[in-house]
Structure 1
Amino acid sequence: NSQHSIEYWLTLDLLASEFSENPSSREAIRVKNSSEADLIFVPFFSSLSYNRYSKLSPHQKKSKNWELQEKLVKFVMSQKEWKISGGRNHVVLAHHPNSMLNARMQLWPAIFILSDFGRYPINVANLDKDVIAPYKHVIKSYVNDSSDFDSRKTLLYFQGAIYRKNGGFARQELYYLLKDEKDVHFSFGSVQRNGIRQASQGMHSSKFCLNIAGDTPSSSRLFDAIASHCVPVIISDEIELPYEDILDYTEFCIFIRTSDAVKKGFLINRIRSITKDKWTQMWEKLKQVEPLFEFQYPSKEGDAIQMIWQSLSHKVSSVKMKINKSKRYSRFVPRKRRGLRTRTK
């Protein structure tokens, strides 16, 4: 499940930093002494653990994924670094929406790296302390893209699971609204068989690509669209986006409220109203921002790996302030709390 593979990419980059010829040029480097660290990186591959070990065997009461999370919590919270900071300066990766379902309630003071907040209560995960990271796109990048508005014959493209629960009801509604539009491709699809190849061809030949909320607010489809230079149409009211503190997504994405999108004629008329010049402007911007969402080794300045480190660096001052404030009264323990007793006659 490569779309949730950021644990691999960040760990690899951190290990590689030890052999860098110019460490000062990197967003993050590994240090051996925790007292020198701004943040404590926890290299637990939570998405991999979920994908590989979440299913119960007939004789099991707990999945191996659950057991690994319990061991993680016990180990991390027993370390002096956690005890000193209360976990505030720890970085925990839980990019798959179903990963860390058990551990998250105990490790909540840490900085989580997530794909969205869809399955988290606000007191456990929020933009104030956590980081939203992109999915790794699964379709092929559109290298040497020489297409234009006229050569992309499909107006609007969607291929994926249509019937979803929770917030994904809009997919089903939009399917019935759009299925008979002649220049719209809206069909079921998956990554199995030739699904990725078909999606690559479809997105590369489409002007606009739908990104509709499913079981959670986000999906890899947005980042597949960016890699295809297919202008994303985002219909997901609760979505949070990577690097939005420095990136204006309205320059290369169309945002439509779900309540408007499911009105008959609203979505298709909105898309048809976008001029060739406006689309071309957004298409050019997509090609400019595409590198910000690329995972690669060795990592390069301005790619997804370095952007995630940069997003984490923005949390450091706030984390340090919270840790320092927590120390205000920690050295003095009132007499009653020390458990001292007075003698009585």
Structure 2
Amino acid sequence: MSLMSEKSILPSKFLSCLMIVSLSILILSSLSLIRFGDNSFISRSVFKLILVNTTSANFKPNVISERIEPPSLSSVASPSLSSVASPNHTPRPIRSREVAWQVSNSSKKFGALGKDRRKGCVPNEALLRVYMYDLPPEFHFGFLGWKGNGNQIWPDVGNPSGIPHYPGGLHLQHSVEYWITLDLLSSNTPSVTRLCKAIRVQNSSEADIIFVPFFSSLSYNRDSKLRRKKGGVNRMLQDKLVHFLEGRDEWKRLGGKDHLIVAHHPNSMLNARRKLGSAMLVLSDFGRYPHKIANLEKDVIAPYKHIVKTIASSDSAPFERRPILIYFQGAIYRKDGGQIRQELYYLLKDEKEVHFAFGSVRANGINQAGQGMASSKFCLNLAGDTPSSNRLFDAIASHCVPVIISDEIELPFEDVLDYSEFCIFVGAYSALQKGFLLNLLRGIGQDKWTKMWERLKQIVQHFEYQYPSRPGDAVDMIWEAIARKISSKQFEIHTKNRYHRLQLIGKTS
């Protein structure tokens, strides 16, 4: 019989005790749900998604709430490849994505892209944990003339005056590895205010990905004069790197699949890429890679660093103050897919409102190109020796609507950016039909052009490389793209394990 049926009346003290106990149990249950450690009921990735969806979008990047003190660099072993100390490596378990990256419809909009909505940097909540090999300076900052004191491997990135400068001119366009390495080093530097997208960890078993800090593009550019000789410094460094990686337990464990290598110059890593192609590569395009080595399933396309100055939104000329309709200045005679340049040159060179001319970085060429793009409505981005070129990102920095004529091009961050909102795409065959391109662009009215121009001013920040990194800039976006690739790989691994683990249990039972 129930209490109500017996019409019994509980003493008031007993009721009070019962309410207190019930309330205590409720509070403890809530705390256990909120906790997001490795054994919690709610995974860390779900907790993060709750934070992202409930926290204010107003983010102040200069507020630091927590830092991890790094080990002293003075304790690092002698900076030679043979003496790079291996950490106490233990097999890293396959775990659920603690930082699973989900792209919602709202995140595709500018207001949510590249935004870290937490206040300051909380290392334990970083999007990525990255282990970076302590390669000797000859593989990275040694190219910039930097020499450490004693066994010092890395420059003091907390002191801006002590950071070596990357060479300017066309070399700068492929400087991706330089900015990524600086960003990782700054994650262990308390004096630097930065995002917490990627945090450098000191034990590879704790890492989501393992970064190989080789300035491969600069190695190629610096050694290009020796290409006709057998060997050369660039070839020697690639051989040493392959030997080093193939001897590491970290590489052997997954055959390098959890490693990250930047090879942004199309000719960088030419000798080593087949042996190291299992790693995740950061590239400018796939133009000189077989699909087995480089593809969108595992690799990341990163933007070139533009070499013209970025125009401030307030200084950007509107439609009526851009007298040039179509602008192109650069190398005209190219091989492979770049032959379209010379064909278009002969079609357009005598047309009114068209600037189509040869240009180079010499004789103030960069400033001239920047001024020309800033005075133009449309800027041509044509395939060269490879499908991509830095010209696209120069156009974006100039708020000149890019016209992309490159059928094989891959674009950075295209899974979260809709390029059709600020670019015009024209097939190569159509572009070579007499009058087609001119009629197409002349038919785009001021209202439509202005809408694309406004969008350019919104997304330009996603293609800016800077130190320290800021919300939504190129480095920030690259780390997010890497996280999405890792999440995709983990999904594939976990689905394959659905029945594999059951089979293993059956064999041992």
Q: TM-score, normalised by structure 1?
A: 0.91
Q: Report the counterpart of residue 83 of structure 1 in structure 2.
A: 252
The residue that corresponds to 2:178 in the other structure is 8
Matched, 1:152 2:322: yes
Shift of 1:145: 2.2
1:282 pairs with one of 449, 452, 457: 452
Matched, 1:95 2:264: yes
**1:66 — aligned with what?**
235
| Aligned match of 1:118 | 287
2:307 maps to which residue?
138
Q: Distance in 2 between matches of 1:316 and 1:57?
A: 35
- Correspondence for 1:32: 202
Q: Note the C-alpha offset of 1:54.
A: 3.2
Provide the alpha-carbon RMSD of the alignment: 1.9
SS in 2 for 1:215: coil
Among candidates 430, 433, 449, match of residue 263 of structure 1:
433
- Partner secondary structure for residue 30 of structure 1: strand
1:105-146 alpha-carbon deviations (Å, 9 max, x no partner): 000110000000000000110000000000000001112324
C-alpha spacing 1:146/1:102, structure 2 compared with 1 (3 Å): closer
**In 1, Cα distance between equivalents of 2:213 and 2:343:** 41
Call closer, same or farther: CA 1:82–1:200 in 2, change over 3 Å.
same
The 5 Å alignment of 1:288-299 reads 288-299=458-469
Question: SS of the residue aligned with 2:201?
Answer: coil
Check 1:224–1:323 CA distance in 2 against 1; reply closer, same or farther (3 A cut): same
Q: Distance in 2 between matches of 1:301 and 1:23?
A: 12
Aligned partner of 1:308 in structure 2 is: 478
Q: Tell me if the contact between 1:156 and 1:210 (Cα under 8 Å) persists in the aligned partners.
A: yes
C-alpha change, 1:22 and 1:220, in structure 2 (3 Å) is closer
Answering whether residue 338 of structure 2 is matched by residue 168 of structure 1, we say: yes
Q: CA deviation at 1:318?
A: 3.5
* 1:103-114 correspondence to structure 2 within 5 Å: 103-114=272-283
2:376 paired with 1:206: yes
Q: Deviations over 1:291-313 (max 9, x none)?
A: 00000111101000000000000
Query: Higher mean Cα deviation, 63-72 or 247-256?
Result: 63-72
State the percentage of identical aligned residues.
64
Contact 1:88 1:319 in 2 (8 A): no
User: CA separation of 1:38/1:167 partners in 2, compared to 1, >3 Å: closer, same or farther?
Assistant: same
How big is the shift at 1:316? 1.4
Deviations 1:62-107 (A, max 9, x none): 1211111011111011111001111001000000000001110000
| Contact 1:50–1:99 (Cα < 8 Å) also in 2 | yes
Quote the offset at 1:321 in angstroms.
5.6
* SS of equivalent to 2:260: strand
How far apart, in 2, do the equivalents of 1:22 and 1:43 lie?
Answer: 20
Q: Does 1:51 align with 2:221?
A: yes
Asked if the contact 2:187/2:194 (under 8 Å) is kept, the reply is no
CA 44–24 in structure 1, closer or farther in 2 if over 3 Å, else same: closer
Q: Secondary structure at the match of 1:187?
A: strand
**CA displacement 1:198-226 (0-9 Å, x = unmatched):** 00110010000000000000000000000
Q: What secondary structure sits across from 1:55 in the alignment?
A: helix
Counterpart amino acid of 2:210?
I
Query: What corresponds to 2:212 in structure 1?
Result: 42
C-alpha distance in 1 between matches for 2:398 and 2:387: 21
User: C-alpha distance in 2, partners of 1:300/1:147?
Assistant: 26
Q: Please give the secondary structure, in 1, of the residue aligned with 2:285.
A: coil
Name the TM-score, length of structure 2 as normaliser.
0.62
Task: Give 2:305's aligned amino acid.
Answer: K
Distance 2:317 2:476 in 1: 29
Q: What amino acid maps onto 1:68 in structure 2?
A: L
C-alpha separation in 2, matches of 1:24 and 1:95: 24
Q: Distance in 1 between matches of 2:405 and 2:469?
A: 32
Q: How far apart in 2 are the matches of 1:22 and 1:38?
A: 23
Contact 1:54 1:66 in 2 (8 A): no
- Between stretches 13-22 and 253-262, larger displacement belongs to 13-22
8 A Cα contact 1:134 1:304, kept in partner: yes
Distance in 1, matches of 2:365 and 2:194, equals 42
Greater Cα radius of gyration, structure 1 or 2 = 2
- Determine the structure 2 residue equivalent to 1:188: 358
Return the letter of the residue paired with 2:327: Y
